Chains A and B, each alone.
Chain A
Amino acid sequence: MSAPSREALSSAFHTQARSDWAVYLHLAALPEHPRCHALHYLQMATEKLGKAYRLRDTSAATEDLQSEHTGFASFLRLYINQRASSLAAERETNEALKRRAVALAREVERLHPSVDKARCPQNAEYPWPESDKVGVPVHYDFPNLSFLHDPKGRAFLALVQRALDDFS
């Protein structure tokens, strides 16, 4: 059986990331639902977006990508450098934008249950132990992600949107 081309695989990850992103935007506008659901889609959208760009590197092993859940923060640094001249004109200086975007991207990466779970067990998907109790995503407010509502958070989200739009 022949394998799909890297281009097809990369494009498929981008298509799925776009759909995850659309669901994130939809859920984020519905305050009656617990935040974890929207944040889960944000984490999935950004992870797949990073992988879509990563799959263009033909030396990247496709089988490794399924089990990797970090890399988006790394991607954003390179994306900002690559597009710096146009981004800096629209916003802050490249360096400040990059520093903030990477910090925020790492918080989003931690929404995956397997990322940094010893230090930060709270995630958007699965319950986690809390001494003799159990934390549940739908009951948790994710205070470390409250930034999404302030100007820095909006700049971060605009960057994700731009990387989605810039893909092709």
Chain B
Amino acid sequence: MSKKSKNDVAEELIAHHFRVEPGMVEIYRLDDPDDAQAPIRLLEVCLHAVPMGKIMGFGFAASAEVPYTTIVAEITPGELDQLRATGFPEGWDLRAARVTRRSAA
């Protein structure tokens, strides 16, 4: 059986995270979709996130369920507003990101 494409996996993962987290507002995908080697990189904006005052990304190795390395960070809507005002740290610039909102998931 052939391995699923990174884009298919990323889309499934985003839909899965909306499904399992009722507080999820929007998810930004920041990796280059044409680079199959680059980890899937998601910034998730969630009402129930633990407010940390900064972006903390965690990396998950490829698994049977998600066969690509994934980096995920979660922030609150308030933290997103703050970051828009003060600027995003390296690796988390949303300008080129593609966003999925709950209504579209």
Contacts and interface: CB of A to CB of B under 8 A. Distances in A.
Given A50-B58, A57-B71, A74-B52, 17 more contacts: A10-B59, A53-B58, A54-B56, A54-B58, A57-B57, A59-B57, A71-B52, A74-B58, A74-B74, A78-B74, A81-B16, A81-B72, A82-B60, A82-B66, A83-B63, A88-B20, A168-B61
Interface stretch (B1-9, B85-93, B95-103): B85-93
17 contacts: A53-B58, A53-B60, A55-B59, A56-B71, A57-B71, A59-B90, A59-B91, A71-B56, A74-B50, A74-B56, A74-B74, A77-B48, A77-B74, A79-B58, A95-B21, A98-B21, A166-B61
A59 B65 CA distance: 25
Interface residues of A, number: 34
A85 B16 contact: yes
B14 to A, nearest CB: 11
A73 interface: yes
A115 to B, nearest CB: 12
B89 A59 contact: yes
Contacts of A86: 65
Nearest to B23: A95
Given A73-B50, A74-B52, A60 B70 contact: no
How big is chain B's contact interface, by range?
20 to 34
Contacts of A94: 20-21
Interface in B13-43: 16-17, 20-22
Interface in A75-99: 75, 77-86, 88, 94-95, 98
Interface of A: 10, 50, 53-60, 70-71, 73-75, 77-86, 88, 94-95, 98, 102, 106, 166-168
B74 A57 contact: no
A8 B11 CA distance: 30
A95 B20 contact: yes
B58 A167 contact: no
A137 to B, nearest CB: 26
Contacts of B16: 81, 84-85
Which one of B49, B50, B52, B57 has the greatest number of beta carbons of chain A within 10 Å?
B50
A56 B21 CA distance: 23
